[in-house]
Amino acid sequence: MATSRAAAPTRAKRAVRLTAGAGAKADTRPSSLRPFLLLSVLMLAAAGLAARLAFWQVMEHGKLSALQASEQISLSVQEGLRGQIFDDRGNTLATDVNQYRVLAAPWQVKDPRRTSTLLAPVVHEPADNLDRLLTTNKDRIPIELSPPVSVNQGQRIRNLALPGIMLDPRASRVYPRGTEAAQLLGFTNDENQGQAGLEQYYDHLLSGTAGLRSVLRDTAGNDVRIGTQSPIPSHNGADLHLSLDNTVQGLVEDELSKAVKKHGAIGGSIIVMDPRTGYILGMASTPTFNPNHVGTATDPHAVYVNPITQDTYEPGSTMKILTMAAGLDSGVITPETSFYDNGTFTIDGTTIHNWNLSGFGQENMTQVLQHSANVGASFVAGRLGTDRFYTYLHRFRFGQRTGIDLPGESAGDVPLPGNKNWSIVNLYTNSFGQGLAMTPLQLTSAVQAVANGGVMMRPQIVRRIVYDGRIINRPPVAEGRVISARTSHTLTDMLLHSAIDGEAQLALVKGYNIAAKTGTANIPGPGGGYLPNTTIASTIGYAPAFHPRLLILVKIDRPRDTIWGSEAAAPVLHNLFQELFMYYHIPPNPGALNK
């Protein structure tokens, strides 16, 4: 059956061909149908295509539009700028500038050598280095070709229209005044996050909030913003307005630099404070760094640590101000209280000496300050006793953080009765600044309470914060009364008189009443005891004495040509007071003791 069915069509075809070859009439009908059939097929195909096109254009128009939008519209992150930092007179200390990261997709770079040659003079990188980056990176990951470039450089790169080269906009932190106030300001990392100083402490306020914006890519791959509003707007960070005065800061840094160089010291610090408010007017330490070039800093300690708030030292004889304040306030002494100083004092087998290894004979408490007598300070500590002495140290907030708006503040180290490293000897050595450690700011803050009628103010740097049009003021904060106003006045008078012919006389300015005290602090050695002939020289003072506008601490670390605070630090205090009296238009006092 199967064989006969297959053979039949073959014979039929053969018969047709034979018949057609016999005459023209037999061939006419089949040939005339072909154009008609072809036309019919084409018409049917056209109708189907038209129907399908109508389906997409009319019935599925919404879906098609959505699909096109999803493929061509993307959301781009729009970073908020970091807040600016200004000094008290509106000078910019820290701000953001727009820059571009220069990125490359090596697999899209058609001519690496030409691309490198054209880019090199714009990004200030050797062409060979760029060529090596473009030809050796085989991973399909964009690479960064150079440090961020300016807006002008970015435009020059954009004009080159180099395939595979991309510009990634970013905000970079800059510090217009370079090294000035560097340790106070701090710096930011590559992600524009605060890493030290005010930048770190106020990072949550300074950081801007990112938003989203719609971007339409045209056929050339260029981005075109849609409309003028972002779907989610970005917000710039808050601006900080400091109490720091740019002029004062410059003067402080200049005087510190000259003193450190003159005395061959390894470093130093200066603080200028308004004792009425606790606001910091100037703050500097050396060695320092340039926050614009953190990576080039030779001393990591100078980059990450502010010695004024984070490093501690034994204050030496400047501590006698606070010992005398405690004695006067508790009533165990008066300025006229006297004793006989033979030059030594022995307690529990330990003998205490005066700095000159000599005695001063019969002397009152003002003379104790004038001579900076260790034996005299020990006399006051003995009258106070353990409980009262350490109660006053607690009032002056030694062993506690001051609360300044800077990160990483140290609480210092004050061994207390009952601790394993405390003995009765500590009571007496602590009275003249040995055996306890504090930051320069802690000492300044304690003396501020003496200068301010007995009321301690919290040290502050930021006066006000401005965010999104709102102004948040940071008023002075009183921490409480430490000593009575009467004690403050009495001690100020003692400091004023003791400085005239005493150790602090080189800190004075003619025509002005200045309360001042020097300090020469020994430095503990790594194996116990103190380093020989190695000191920290300091002087602290406030003026005008009974109506103070300025409180200044000068600290010189390890001066080589002299070990004494009276010689290395006091003249610096004199220079600063003299300049600042003129700057703040503080007139001389016709009745000043120092004529």
pLDDT higher than threshold 90 for residue 218: no
17 band by pLDDT with thresholds 50, 70 and 90: very low
- pLDDT of the residue at 6: 39
Q: Where are the domains of the chain?
A: 76-242, 246-583
pLDDT higher than threshold 90 for residue 184: yes
pLDDT higher than threshold 90 for residue 79: no
pLDDT higher than threshold 90 for residue 199: yes
- Of residues 169 and 407, the one with the higher pLDDT is 407
The answer to whether residues 476 and 278 touch, using CB atoms and an 8 Å cutoff, is: yes
Contacts of 378 (CB under 8 A, 6+ apart): 345, 347, 352, 428, 431, 432
List pLDDT tens digits, range 511-552: 999 999 999 999 999 888 899 999 999 999 999 999 999 999
Least confident window among 51-60, 100-109, 300-309, 373-382 = 51-60
> Which pair of structure tokens corresponds to residue 271?
């603080």
- pLDDT of the residue at 33: 58
- pLDDT of the residue at 185: 97
Report the pLDDT averaged over residues 243-267: 98
Q: What is the mean pLDDT of the chain?
A: 86
Report the pLDDT averaged over residues 305-324: 97
pLDDT higher than threshold 80 for residue 62: no
Percent of the chain with pLDDT over 70: 83
- pLDDT of the residue at 44: 53
List pLDDT tens digits, range 397-432: 999 999 999 999 999 999 999 999 899 999 999 999
DSSP-derived letter for residue 560 is S
The answer to whether residues 231 and 214 touch, using CB atoms and an 8 Å cutoff, is: yes
List pLDDT tens digits, range 128-137: 999 998 888 7
Instruction: Give the CATH number of domain 76-242.
Output: 3.90.1310.10
Query: Which of helix, strand or coil describes residue 510?
Result: coil
- pLDDT of the residue at 463: 97
Q: Burial-class residue 447 by CB neighbours within 10 Å (0-12, 13-18, 19+).
A: buried
pLDDT higher than threshold 90 for residue 483: yes
Contacts of 525 (CB under 8 A, 6+ apart): 531
Give me the DSSP letters along 187-233. Answer: -B-TTS-B-SHHHHHTHHHHSPBPEEEEEEE-TTS-EEE-SSS-SB-
> Which pair of structure tokens corresponds to residue 198?
């005010």
Which option is the CATH number for 246-583: 3.40.710.10, 1.10.3300.10, 3.30.465.10, 1.10.10.10?
Answer: 3.40.710.10
- pLDDT of the residue at 78: 59
List pLDDT tens digits, range 427-477: 999 999 999 999 999 999 999 999 999 999 999 999 999 998 899 999 999
**How far apart are the C-alpha atoms of 264 and 42, rounded to whole Å?**
101
- pLDDT of the residue at 211: 65
- pLDDT of the residue at 46: 45
Q: What is the pTM of this model?
A: 0.80
Report the pLDDT averaged over residues 139-154: 85
